[in-house]
Every structure is written in structure tokens, then in C-alpha cells.
Chain A
Amino acid sequence: MQVRSGLIHTQNARLPSTKCKERESLASGIWAPCTARPLGTSSISFSGNKESSTSLSEGKENEPEKNEANAEVNTDGQNAEVNEVTENSQQTLTSQLETEPVVKPEDSKQVEKTKSGKESLLELLGAMKVEVTTARKIRPSKTSRMSERPDQEPMESAHSMFQHAAAEGSPQQHIIADMKVGRRPNGRSNARPTSQIRFDDDGKGYTQERGITGELDGVRKRKSPFTSKRLNIFTAGVEQDTLSDLGPTLWDIDLANHIVQTTNQMPRNGFEEMIQWTKEGKLWQYPINNEAGLEEEASVPFHEHVFLEKHLDESFPRQGPVRHFMELVITGLAKNHHLTVQQKKEHIDWFRDYFRQKDDVLKEAEA
């Protein structure tokens, strides 16, 4: 573990996010294979089996992708850390590779052996303080490998299912075949430790420097799940009327009331305060509507406002000062365009009650 102390000093507290694109010069690259795997097919334990686990992960990623160079850097980087011989890693690799069902181990093994010398030299030159970008290398290749593996596994396990479906005459018979394995752009596959010496293979004397802009563009250009072709695997569920009740039950209302009372719904800023006032009715609604509270009144026909004699006919005397007075009242109400019909009726009803109470007084006065 003393060998690892050289790396631990570069560790930071923060863990990389699964979508981290920036270059991370941390030994948290060791942590990355554990955190950055959303669909981890193998549980990687932190403490003990780091080396074997990382080699396991690298062994897995070696199969379909041809990133042996990266894998070699990883494995040999790990070896350099632990001061083990490269054959050890290769032995672990081969042991892991044998356990894989769908694998072509022979090619990867041979390519490893040919490239191991050059890469190990690089790592030794790079010394202990390696900016291990295992996060970047493992993840893109892993995710791209993930895209392929689910294709292969359902092939084996669900192949029979699709055979049955085909026998029954399902419309999409070549769903799996239609699944196109896209080459994810391994944007950061060329990311190397800055201290590492890069070889230009054609002797130009310089290597092409690529920044992260290409990778960032690739992020946007990638097809979103909504743009690609529909697979028609799942049938659209029939809409069920789960709540075909008469409306919110009393319990729902009670729950809503309880929530409103317990939560603190103070307005956070002036806008929310104004919204609250508008809902309460303290603030007018903009743009200003002159008939704001009178929407129902618009549908009332005008003759109900103007011709109010029909309310006069019951229990009012036909002649006399009272009738005269009430006709004046009705004329005034007919000309009033601020009252609703209901308010006018209440007016007349009040007068009727009042004159009923004062009947004896009126009779005395007449007599």
C-alpha cells in the first residue's frame, strides 16, 4: 500500500460525476469505475480487490472494443503502481477473459503482448504521479460496450421469445437485427497524462492536439431517444379511468387542507406576493377589465333590468302614495347600471317588508 501513497496525495474529496468531461488529475480515477457505472454488471468492491476488479473491468471492455492501447495503459499503469510484472496483469486478464462467454480472447491477448513493451516503457517514464484517466477510458468504452451487450444477451435469452413472436406473426421481426450498434465517439480516448511523452508515428515531429471541443460537439449531435426510430416493442396502454369519481373526495380535500396549513407558503419575492393578492382579490387583474366581477351579468338580458313592474304587483296597493313611491323607486332602479338584477330584487323586497310592517301607520295616516 505504500506504493499507492504516491497517488493518494492527489486525491480530492469530490467524486467525479458520471458525465464529467473535464480532465481530472486525480487518483479518483480509481474510484471512477465504481461510481461511473450505472448498470454495473459486476460489483466492484473498494477496499481489497481494486486491482483485480479494475483488471476485470478492463478485461470486459477489451472484448468488443479495440481500445487495447487504453487497456494496456490501464493495466500497466496499475502494474507500475504496484510494481508487479506485466505478466501478472496479463494472467489476471486471461483468467478473467476465460470466464467471459462471448469473447475473442486470442486477438486481444496477442495485441497485448505486442504493445506491452512500448506502453510499459511509457508508464515507467511517466513515474508515479500519473494522471490516471481511467475514468475517461473506462467509461466511454464501457458505455459503448453496454450498448452492445444488451443486444447480445437478449439475443440469447429472449431469442426464443422472439421466435415465438415471429411464429405468431408479430409485425417487427427484426428488432434485434435493426438495433444498430453505433460507435460512440470516444472523445477522450486520446487523453494522456500531460507529462507523458507522445510518439508521432509518422515522424512528423508533432502530434495533432485535439481539445475538448470535438467531444462537446459530439454530445449535442448524439441522437436523443426521441429522434430515432420507434421499436414498437411495447403496446400503448389503454387509458383507464381510475378516477371517474364525482371529483375530489372529502378525504382529498382534508389532506390538501392539512398540507396547506402545515407548509410554509410565504411568498418569496414581490412577484409571488402580487400573485397571491390577485388570487385573493386584493389586486386587480391586468389588463384592466372594467367588468371584472360581472361576467355573469353580461348574459342577463336588458329587459330584466328595465321592466321591474312585475315585482310590484304582489302585495303593493294599486293606488295611493305607496304605489307612487314604489314606481319612483323602480324608475330609479331601471336607470341604475351598477346593480345586478338580484340586488334590485332585494331592494324591492326590502320595501315590501317595510311597508307591511308599517301597515297600521299608513292606515292611520290615510284615515
Chain B
Amino acid sequence: MAAWKLLSTGMGFLQSSLPFCRQVRGYYVDWRMVRDVKRRQMAFEYADTRLRINAIRKNTILPKELQEIADKEIAALPRDSCPVRIRNRCVMTSRPRGVKRRWRLSRIVFRHLADHNQMSGIQRSMW
């Protein structure tokens, strides 16, 4: 489901299944951004399961056999479902580094927009 959604919104993918529909097109900046989106969606799907299995694992009450089994189970989940693999990329340029979390923008884009007065409440600082 998520993969299908991705394909429909992927870079330049045409979808003209119905005659009177417009082509569904969405543009992510590059494929790394597409993969990051995929990982986020999968992480959302498996979030509850991972939380519960981890609650069994990180435990001193339950028997260790159970915890070992829980370890194996969580390792068997798809690799993209873990939230650790998500990278906060810049929304505009997909830059992996130098991204301010509040605006989800890389430093270069942030500076560009702020200089052109597009960022509300942002002002050049001097003191």
C-alpha cells in the first residue's frame, strides 16, 4: 500500500489508468528522499508492534527465554520499520546535514528564504 502510494507520487511516474483523470505526479527532490519517505511510513506502521516487543525485551521480570524469543522477533521485522533509519532531510533540497529541525530546512535554504522575507518572524540578528 505504501509502496504503491510512493510509486504514484514518485519522480515522474505517470498514472493514466482512468481516461478522464489527470496524470498523478508528485515530485520528491531525489530518490534518497523517496526512500526516506518510505522508511517513515513503515516506521509509523510498525511503531506499536515494536514498542510492545521492546517492552518485553527490556525487562527484568519476564523469563529470559521469552526475551530471547522477542529479540529474534524484532530482528525479523523489516529493516525499514525501525525509526533509527529515518534521516531528517531538508524538505526543499533533501540535504542530509545542516538541517534545522524546527523548519525542516537546510541552512542554505533557510538563509535564502529569510533573506527574501519569506520566513515569518525571522530577522537578521545583531547585538
**Contact indicator B52/A365 (Cβ below 8 Å):** no
**Contact indicator A362/B66 (Cβ below 8 Å):** yes
Nearest Cβ on chain B to A350's Cβ, whole angstroms: 6
**Contact indicator A261/B69 (Cβ below 8 Å):** no
Stretch at the interface among B1-9, B57-65, B99-107: B57-65
Confirm or deny: B20 has a beta carbon within 8 angstroms of a beta carbon on chain A.
yes
Most chain A CB atoms below 10 A, which of B21, B48, B62: B62
Residue interface bits A276-316, CB-to-B below 8 A is 1, else 0: 00000000000000000000000000000000000000000
Chain B residues bordering chain A, tally (CB within 8 A)? 15
Query: Do A365 and B21 contact each other (CB < 8 Å), given the known contacts A329-B55, A347-B52, A350-B52?
Result: no
**Contact indicator B52/A321 (Cβ below 8 Å):** no
**Whole-angstrom distance between the alpha carbons of A347 and B62 in the complex?**
18
Nearest Cβ on chain B to A365's Cβ, whole angstroms: 4
Confirm or deny: A262 has a beta carbon within 8 angstroms of a beta carbon on chain B.
yes
Query: Do A261 and B20 contact each other (CB < 8 Å), given the known contacts A324-B61, A325-B61?
Result: yes
**Whole-angstrom distance between the alpha carbons of A353 and B55 in the complex?**
15
**Contact indicator B63/A365 (Cβ below 8 Å):** yes
**Contact indicator A321/B65 (Cβ below 8 Å):** no
Query: Do A351 and B52 contact each other (CB < 8 Å), given the known contacts A261-B20, A261-B21?
Result: yes
Residues of A at under 8 Å CB distance from B? Answer: 261-262, 321-322, 324-325, 328-329, 346-347, 350-351, 354, 358, 361-362, 364-366
Which 6 residue pairs of A and B lie closest in terms of their CB atoms, listed nearest first?
A: A365-B63, A321-B61, A365-B65, A325-B61, A324-B61, A321-B62
Besides A351-B52, A365-B63, 6 new A-B residue pairs in contact (Cβ under 8 A), listed by A number: A262-B20, A321-B63, A324-B61, A347-B48, A354-B52, A361-B66
